[in-house]
Amino acid sequence: MPRDLRDFGKNKQSWVILALDYAPRADPLSEWQALIEKTMHLLAGVKLGLPAFLRIGPDGTKQLIEEFKGKLYFLADFKLADIHEVVQEELRLIENLGFDGAIIHLFPRCIEEPLHTQLEVFGLVSMSCKESLVDHHLDELSGYASKLGLKGVVVGATKPESIKRVRKMLQDAVILSPGVGVQGAAPGSALAAGADFEIIGRSVIYSVDPLSELEKVVRAQRLVRHEG
């Protein structure tokens, strides 16, 4: 049964979702297992994107999720963007892999009614890169996410004004913010703007000391949470 992402944040006092895209060494599955084992007390969840899925396949994905089930939230980031029926089928297969949540694109606007799934579904309403067309439709996409009854939305951490705007529009939505670290946003800054979780990849994955890198991030987040 998928779980509530906010509960993981509360229990761990960490609002970090670790993005697994890269595997600097030879065997991605065992490398990620070791990294998660060492850092999971500082992580609310783990996000697996297409690069991770292509590296370890469905069996490796299931194995990784099974190993840490209940200890971490597992988010599938395949940024689904298709007609309603196909997205519905993709979500069913993602759920079968054991994931708790999934990210979808909203720009196709092909979904006409709430999706049937146990997964928590997050819609992308803004991207962390500078010139994304998606960002020209922030209000419209946020309204659409709300109409579909999605659990939350993705808004780039590099765009704090967009986070503030979406937070005002969608008071109960869980806002996930990628772009902390290598893309330039400071740890804790997206939370300060109103996001619920920060998605962080390379600055941890490529660090010579991922544990202390994460400790720095979580310290900054706790300051924001406890001051705010």
Burial class from Cβ neighbours inside 10 Å (0-12, 13-18, 19+) for residue 170 reads: buried
Q: State the number of CA atoms in the 13 A half-sphere of 108 facing the CB.
A: 14
Judged by CB, which is closer to ligand BMP: 152, or 179?
179
Residue 48 makes contact with ligand BMP by CB under 6 A: no
Among 9, 60, 160, 201, binds ligand BMP (CB under 6 A): 201
Residue 200 makes contact with ligand BMP by CB under 6 A: yes
Residue 160 makes contact with ligand BMP by CB under 6 A: no
Judged by CB, which is closer to ligand BMP: 60, or 123?
123
The β-bridge partners of 153 are 123, 175
From residue 53 to residue 92, what is the string marking binding to ligand BMP with x (rule CB under 6 A)? Answer: ------------------------x---------------
- Alpha helices for the chain (secondary structure H): 5-12, 28-39, 50-68, 84-96, 138-147, 160-169, 189-193, 202-205, 210-227
Q: How far apart are CA 9 and CA 196, in angstroms?
A: 9
Residue 116 CA to its chain's centroid (Å): 20
Residue 95 makes contact with ligand BMP by CB under 6 A: no
Stretch that binds ligand BMP, among 142-150, 162-170, 193-201, 209-217 (CB under 6 A): 193-201
CB of 31 to ligand BMP, least distance (A): 16
Residue 199 makes contact with ligand BMP by CB under 6 A: yes
Residue 15 CA to its chain's centroid (Å): 10
- Cβ pair 156, 127 in contact under 8 A: yes
Residue 178 makes contact with ligand BMP by CB under 6 A: yes
Residue 49 makes contact with ligand BMP by CB under 6 A: yes
Residue 128 makes contact with ligand BMP by CB under 6 A: yes
Q: How far apart are CA 116 and CA 122, in angstroms?
A: 14
Residue whose beta carbon is closest to ligand BMP: 201
Residue 125 makes contact with ligand BMP by CB under 6 A: no
* Residue whose structure tokens are 């940024």: 79
Q: Which residues bind ligand BMP (CB under 6 A)?
A: 19, 21, 49, 77, 127-128, 154, 156, 178-179, 181-183, 199-202
